[in-house]
Chain A
């Protein structure tokens, strides 16, 4: 294997190890037992069918939000507005799930697609502004997160509220819930959304690597100026990229609305699905398979955190710290790369 390929695998692994290591040190310093903490964590990820089900449940939206970030990144854009796109996608899917009456074969796809469409619309705004006015998409995305948050809350409050500060339940014809999957996982909250997420992974891979549109998007991501010289419309590609990226994010919201909860509550804060998507995409090196694996890791950490808290007494926030640290280390991969090169050179020098 070439040095580049080894590094591409080694860097995420080193980042994970460093993140867990610092997390362990924090546990140690604050008087928790890192060994029992981490063993409870891993037990909470895969040890029983119930935990497996919960891990899959937690990784489903993360796959999609990770795809959203990665897809934009491939075209040289940072979609940091995934969080807002998730929220509007969630609301749109639940809304269609409540008000439309149709057989499942129409109703369910319609609800899922309306989630995707809402997310796409939310991401189109920064895409349009970037393409037409050369506005940095990062800031617009952040602002759109807050606009989405307030708009979604006020729509629920004004039109959809039922007792309990939430919307009504969606109709069974729009539900992704699966009695079969629940039964085999001892009644976890697993649902058919994982199928949607896997299909989305395949879709992104196919779109990026097997179509000319994907070629253009990647080319714009590599070098805008060269792509423009080659006759590609950079602005058009930016808008298309953001729209597709946003529809992945909207799907992530739809999974929560149609699969896990069956409704949407008035939010008291962000869900963090979007922000965790940045971590998933970074760690997964923006590839479909990498995103699937890193979503499994982060979903597992999130779902195992509860077990860690109940069995070892470690507050679940430790997992947020570990995830933040992993983001740091992957983002700072330059230094890891540098250290690895130094070590390699030393070895070669000794021979």
Chain B
């Protein structure tokens, strides 16, 4: 097998696996940059996958055509933002331990969504949506030698969406007043407050954006990979997105790179058997690679990764 053939096999699979991680990691970035830990990304993805699939199925049954999947994604964004308010209220107003609240979000999301699925459809999983996002070749670009087969052939629209959003978030975080405010309340809320920034409001916005992006990530996974919803549709991708966020040092493009890398590891573990060099390597090493690398990154072995300073602490007005 030639190197080109291997790359043409692995790179599209990597980008495809990375897109949901990227979107969700961007969500986590907004929340954590504003100072609220979000272990609940997994649950937000579950809610997103659920909302997208249920909306799409309902619209399809009503006779709406291919556009229903897009409306499904939109519904996921809105419902995700609203659902994340539970985490917001608990961790910002009620001063709950943010990690514990995030764990509760994860348990609640799976419980609630499966409960609703059973209530609505009488079984533990939904039917498959008919208007899934399928792979397509980008016209013209896919004919470019080398780059074409790797990046523009048999690709998903969600992958381009995720990369575009990562660049957009990069500009928002580093080049807009809003981005500066988000970062300041995560680093030093007291100073931000003194400068007239409403810490509480910024944190709520951060958490709700994490809900919107996390749900979009879950929805993207559901409408491309699985095509339906059940309790196991989201199996750890939320935590992997959190890992990508940390590995990428809370930077949008870093998170994108880390997500791509994790997607690469996932793609290798799936396609590894077809690649002569890797067929001897037990797939478990590739499966655990993202997590082990994150641990090593945190320990400083691959460049230290430090989070926003005020991450995890409730802001009490008047404290120093």
Query: For the side of the interface on A, what is the size category?
Result: 35 or more
What are the residues of chain A within 8 A of B167 when measuring CB–CB? none
Which chain A residues lie closer than 8 Å to B232 at the CB level? 268-269
Q: How far is the CA of A149 from the CA of B288 in the complex (A)?
A: 9
Picked from A139, A268, A318, the residue with its CB within 8 Å of the CB of B294 is A139
Task: Knowing A321-B111, A321-B112, A328-B96 are in contact, say whether A154-B284 is a contact too (CB < 8 A).
Answer: yes
CB distance from B44 to the nearest CB of A (A): 14
B154 within 8 A of A: no
Q: Please, which residues of chain A bring their CB within 8 A of the CB of B101?
A: 328, 331-332
* B111/A318 in contact, CB under 8 A: yes
Per-residue B-contact encoding for A126-159, CB less than 8 Å = 1, 0 else: 0001000101101110111111011101100010
Separation of A154 and B281 alpha carbons in the complex (Å): 12
Whether A275 contacts B115 in the complex (CB less than 8 A), given A139-B298, A331-B100, A334-B96, comes out as no
Is B229 close to A, CB under 8 A? no
Given contacts A129-B298, A315-B119, A332-B94, contact A324 B288 (CB under 8 A): no
Interface string of B285-320 (1 = CB under 8 A from A): 001100110110011100000010000000000000
A30 touching B291 in the complex, CB below 8 Å, given contacts A320-B111, A323-B107, A331-B90: no
Q: What 1/0 flags go to A236-254 for Cβ under 8 Å of B?
A: 0000000000000000000
A142 near B119: Cβ-Cβ < 8 Å: no
Determine the main DSSP class of B at the interface with A.
helix
Decide if A170 is an interface residue (CB 8 Å cutoff). no
Is the CB of B97 closer than 8 A to any CB of chain A? yes
**A278-B100 contact in complex given A321-B111, A324-B111, C-beta closer than 8 Å:** yes
**Contact between B93 and A335 (Cβ–Cβ < 8 Å)?**
yes
**A118 contacts the other chain (CB 8 A):** no
Check if B86 is an interface residue, CB within 8 A of chain A: yes
What is the minimal beta-carbon distance from B246 to any residue of chain A, in angstroms? 6
Does A87 touch B at the CB level, under 8 Å?
Answer: no
Complex Cα spacing A78 to B101, Å: 13
Contact across chains for A328 and B246 when beta carbons are under 8 A apart: no
CB interface residues, A 245-276, toward B, < 8 Å = 268-269, 272, 275
Report Cα–Cα, A153/B282, bound state, in Å. Answer: 12
Q: Flag if A147 contacts B292 (CB, 8 Å).
A: yes
> Are B107's CB and A324's CB within 8 A?
yes
Q: A275-B103, A327-B100, A328-B86 are in contact. Are A146 and B239 (CB under 8 A)?
A: yes
Determine whether B283 belongs to the interface, using a CB cutoff of 8 Å to chain A.
yes
Contact B107 A150 (CB under 8 A): no
Whole-angstrom distance between the Cβ of A96 and the nearest chain B Cβ: 22
CA distance A144 to B103 in the complex (A): 16
The distance from the CB of B76 to the nearest CB of chain A, in whole angstroms, is 20
Tell me whether A70 is interfacial, beta carbon within 8 Å: no
Contact (Cβ within 8 A) B299 A133? yes
Report the Cα distance A26→B112, complex, angstroms: 9
Chain A residues with CB below 8 A from B295, complex form = 125, 129, 135, 140, 143-144
Residue B243 at the chain A interface, CB threshold 8 Å: yes
* Chain B positions within 8 Å of A282 at CB level: 100
B236 close to A (CB within 8 Å): yes
B112 (CB) vs chain A CBs: closest residue: A321
Candidates A145, A321, A332; contact of B90 at CB < 8 Å = A332
Task: Write out the residue numbers on chain B whose beta carbons fall within 8 Å of the beta carbon of A280.
Answer: none
Does any Cβ of A come within 8 Å of B163's Cβ?
no
B265 to chain A, nearest CB (A): 12
Q: Does B95 count as interface, using CB distance less than 8 angstroms?
A: yes
Q: In the complex, what residues of A have CB within 8 A of residue B107's CB? A: 272, 275, 320, 323-324, 327
List residues of chain A with CB within 8 A of the CB of B111. Answer: 317-321, 323-324
A143, closest chain B residue (CB): B291
Q: What is the chain A residue whose CB lies nearest that of B42?
A: A142
Interface residues of B (CB under 8 A from A): 37, 39, 86, 90, 93-97, 99-101, 103-108, 110-112, 114-116, 118-119, 231-232, 235-236, 239-240, 242-243, 246, 282-284, 287-288, 291-292, 294-295, 298-300, 307
19 sample A-B contacts, Cβ–Cβ < 8 Å, listed by A number = A30-B116, A80-B99, A133-B300, A135-B295, A138-B99, A142-B239, A142-B242, A143-B239, A146-B291, A150-B284, A150-B287, A275-B106, A315-B114, A317-B115, A324-B105, A324-B107, A328-B108, A331-B104, A332-B94
Q: Which 4 A-B pairs have the closest CB atoms?
A: A320-B111, A324-B108, A332-B94, A154-B284
Apart from A153-B284, A272-B107: 14 A-B pairs, beta carbons within 8 A: A78-B97, A80-B39, A135-B298, A143-B291, A146-B239, A146-B240, A269-B231, A315-B114, A317-B115, A323-B111, A328-B101, A331-B100, A331-B104, A332-B90
